[in-house]
Amino acid sequence: MIEKDIIIIGAGPIGIACALECKKRHWDYAVIEKGALTNSLFNYPRNMTFFSTSEKLEIDDIPFISTNPKPNRDEALEYYRRVATSNKLHINLYETVNAIKKDGERFSISTRKNNYVSKKVIICTGFYDIPKLLNIPGEELPKVTHYYKEAHNYALQNVVVIGASNSAVDAALEIWRKGGHVTMVVRGENIGERVKYWVRPDIVNRIEEGSIKAYFNSEVIKIDGNTIDIQTPDRLITLDNDYVVALTGYLPNFEILKDSGITLSEDEKQIPSYNPETMESNIKGLYLAGVICGGNETHKWFIENSRIHAKIIANHIANNSN
């Protein structure tokens, strides 16, 4: 049994920010992460550029120096890695949390490697690990992926990109520029308004000129080995297809919240219960930080507007310590 003052679950940017706050206050803490350091960022596309500028991605006033107007994935990985290593933060990687249970005034946290006991727990697990499934025939085929890394393997292939978010637009443009034959399938009537402002005109122009085919107000209803069926407003069409890149969004890990006793809103948003002034959930001593606070509204919280959660939580813990 390992005893700590605070257990932080998730080693993304917000988890790192929470660890820095603990270190400054000389609290005995540990960060537990089921994957790599900043696992969500690590799994982003290799050529991804952030919407935010570097200063908005900084944590604890540690400068983030970028050679670009907006930093890319590799620069962000380097920044957060250096913050974690130079500050000698206590982070346990590749350790999955199985359960969080409150026992009296303390919490028991079990993982696949260890058992912990702590006075406080902070959950900041993000949302990138569970894709929103299409729930259609053929989705389980090897040619279907819910993640996009790079374009090279799609060159000279017939590729359907499902979605109209930033990730879907970036993937469609990159694959087309690397020689893939790209078709986009979009449930809405247009490319999403939240798409990066310097990218949106590019995809709109490529669609208008016919370089990338797009079916709006449409849905994929079936995927076969060599074809794909799309229901358009006019008719059902079948296209030759080699790969499907379904970038339809991701979900937070609601199970770990519910199993720990945190209540979720009963509507489709499933927003967890917490006090925005303290970030404490309905379970005393159990805090939420980062994008997990938005439930299914994963567009609500980002690094730049949730990094303050770490200080809010630390101040509340400090002001209410016995």
Residue in the block written with tokens 């439930």:
295
Residues 167, 238 within the same domain? yes
Following CA atoms 190, 191, 197, 198 in sequence, which dihedral angle do they give, to the nearest 10 degrees?
Answer: -120
Residue pair 145/43 in contact (Cβ under 8 Å)? The answer is no
Long-range contacts of 146-154 (CB under 8 A, 24+ apart): 146/246, 146/247, 146/248, 146/250, 147/43, 148/45, 148/245, 148/247, 149/43, 149/45, 149/46, 150/45, 150/46, 150/47, 150/174, 151/175, 151/177, 151/178, 151/180, 152/178, 154/178, 154/180, 154/243, 154/245
- Whether 119 and 257 map to the same domain: the answer is yes
Pairing of strands 2-9, 115-123: parallel
How far apart are the C-alpha atoms of 14 and 310, rounded to whole Å? Answer: 7
Classified as helix, coil or strand, 202 is: helix
What's the CA gap between 239 and 223, in Å, rounded? 10
Domain ends where: 225, 246, 267? Answer: 246
Mark which of 246, 275, 307 sits at the end of a domain: 246
Same domain? For 25 and 124 the reply is: yes
Handedness of CA 81, 83, 86, 92 (dihedral sign): negative
| Same-domain check for residues 260 and 126 | yes
Q: What is the pLDDT of residue 322?
A: 55
Residues 124 and 151 in one domain: no
pTM, entire model? 0.89
Q: How many domains does the chain have?
A: 2
Do 100 and 196 lie in one domain? The reply is no
Q: Is the dihedral of CA 19, 20, 21, 22 positive or negative?
A: positive
User: What are the tens digits of pLDDT across the range 225-267?
Assistant: 999 999 999 999 999 999 999 999 888 888 889 999 999 998 8
Rounded CA-CA distance 16/10 in Å is 8
The CATH code of the domain that includes 52 is: 3.50.50.60
Q: Could you say which of 199, 230, 246 is where a domain stops?
A: 246
Mean pLDDT across the chain, nearest whole number? 94
C-alpha span between 313 and 309 (Å, rounded): 6
Same domain, 233 and 254: no
pLDDT digits 0-9 by tens, 112-128: 999 999 999 999 998 77
For residues 138 and 118, state if they share a domain. no
Percent of the chain at pLDDT exceeding 90: 80
The segments of the chain whose pLDDT lies below 70 read 322
Are 198 and 223 members of one domain?
yes
Phi first, then psi, for residue 100 (nearest 5°) are: -125, 115
Question: Do 256 and 125 fall within a single domain?
Answer: yes
Q: Are residues 119 and 255 in the same domain?
A: yes
Residue with tokens 């050679």: 67
pLDDT at 9: 97
Q: Are residues 120 and 7 in the same domain?
A: yes
Structural domain range at position 197: 133-246
